[in-house]
Structure 1
Amino acid sequence: MASKKQIKIGNILIGGGAPVSVQSMTNTDTRDVETTLQQIEVLAREKCEIIRVAVPDEEAAQALKEICRRSPLPVIADIHFDYRLALKALAHGVAGLRINPGNIGSEDRVKEVVAAARERAVPIRIGVNAGSLEKDLLEKYGHPCAEALVESALRHVALLERFGYEEIKISLKTSRVPVLLAAYRLLAQKVPYPLHIGVTEAGTLFRGVIKSSVGLGILLSEGIGDTMRVSLTADPVYEVRTAWQILQSLNLRQAGPELVSCPTCGRCQVNLIKLAEEVDQILYQIDRPLKVAVMGCAVNGPGEAREADIGIAGGKGAGLLFKKGQVIRKVPEEQLLSALLEEIRRLD
């Protein structure tokens, strides 16, 4: 059910069979160019592919000129209320716009933004949020339900289409997962445009990762979604890491190693939690595909390690090092991590 139409944000293809792309948003003050660029560079190293920045005023819009010039990622400007900020953002080189056409003024103003976007071949994301639905839709439906979100989106799509513009992607944002699922399923049947998926206001790191993984995982498993952002009240690095883990778990994208580690239980006689966390952090520094198993005992350890490129299984004061299902050697517990890392380096 992936979108038929394809658009391009910078050098990233979206929709039309392209891989699902990973986005995030800076939480810096956009007017602080150097700090914003530093965060973008960090996110690029985490394999973020598209970055969005808030543009609350003219000073932030002016800062986009330097940010877009130096950013390693295509930049999307997030605009609300003032169409002139959208025009400035386009003039300064953004690769995409995120607007709500209903809150930037009259149709003439929307038409002016569309004309400037067309001139520069810049796509526009229509962002509909359950927290800011039009009053008439709230009166019609009584609450921000899936049908209300979709009707709002289609209203804005029709406005851009009336101006002959179809370089569009659409997002429907709500913090309620069942409403999110129903809304995107309904919208996917009605439009050919790429869909940006995300659970808005998902929460703090632990809660937000769970809610986003459930909502986005279900949509992606059904073939819905062309680009995604995991929205967390946390460092945006975790947004990118979570997005990639969701995609990798569904075999939709591959970015670096996969870690398999067992839950702790009474059979475990090594400090598995500490060991697995240490391995996990190291694996984030590796780019190539690799399956690594960190197991707590010999019950499931050898079997899981057999499915991995490299792995360890703990025991009392020691553990076994596996490679492609074959035991390499027995290693003292305090040497398990260094032995595993040595074998990973040898796989290069």
Structure 2
Amino acid sequence: MKILVIGSGGREHALVWKLAQSPHATQMWCAPGNAGIAQERLAQNGAPVQCVNLGAEDLPGLLAFAREQKVDFTIVGPDNPLALGIVDLFQANGLKIWGVNQKASQFEASKVFSQNFMEKYGIPTARAITVTPEIFPHAQRDKLSEHRELMLFLLQNPKCVVKADGLALGKGVLICNGRSEIYAAMLEMFSGGKFGQAGRKVVLQEYLEGIEVSLHALCDGKTAKIFPTSQDHKRALDGDLGLNTGGMGTYSPTPFLSDAQLAEVAGSILDPFMRGCAAEGIDYRGLLYPGVMLTKDGPKVLEFNARFGDPETQVYLMRLENDLVELLDASASGTLA
């Protein structure tokens, strides 16, 4: 099987490393890849993994390459090409590809969409409100009720989490303490300077206390298979005093969830998620990665990601005993059950 992996980070290196162990892999490329990926070799025939000078968001170039090389299976690592619709493009051209389609990518590409979905389908999450420039800092005449709702939320939540609606490389989340910090964060996002279009809408979420874990589930449109627990280290500086990063390390399994507890947590999140997708006509095939806070009131979803976590992938795939090619093929083909 000829395989193309899209991406260039540690996540993609972990994917390539594991995929290369499969006897199904006879030739492999990674676009654009990195120096470490270029050192990997296939277990089946010893052939090197070839890095291709194509960006992960160069959808026309990637499609042309896959057709030219007669790639059998493409695997997408990062979120941006998923949000741009690479899965839809490849499928429209008769090419097999693993990853969520553009409609399903909204769970990560839009915090507003994700929050509304969770509230609609009873997925436990933090209380939240969506804010736009029409509401803050000065409400337009026809937005006065929404402005009052915002003021009430801030009164009830002096400490809260400010999230840019769109993709921001894992850095669009700010934990703010006090109204001045909250206002400054919203103004920074609305300005468009640092966050661009990702900050044109903002979600304010109540600040939840507890232990945060990363859940991963492989989905095939009907079935969701849960991975073991993991936990990454997000905030910079000693004592978690710094800003959120994309992740500075991770470990698995975590010591504070038994298998039975994991199954219970997963059921409270994955079951209503899959039911909601069916109701909304969303064919979710790929990886679902909810960030979950274990609070005194039970597990609550902080956000959804629509791809493997980075750095979580690195520990998951070191623990995985199954053939990753077979797993991802079953996910893409709808045959996980």
Give the TM-score of the pair, scaled to structure 2.
Answer: 0.28
Larger Rg over CA atoms: 1
From the two aligned structures, give the one with the greater helix fraction: 1
| Larger RCO: 1 or 2 (CA < 8 Å, sep 6+) | 2
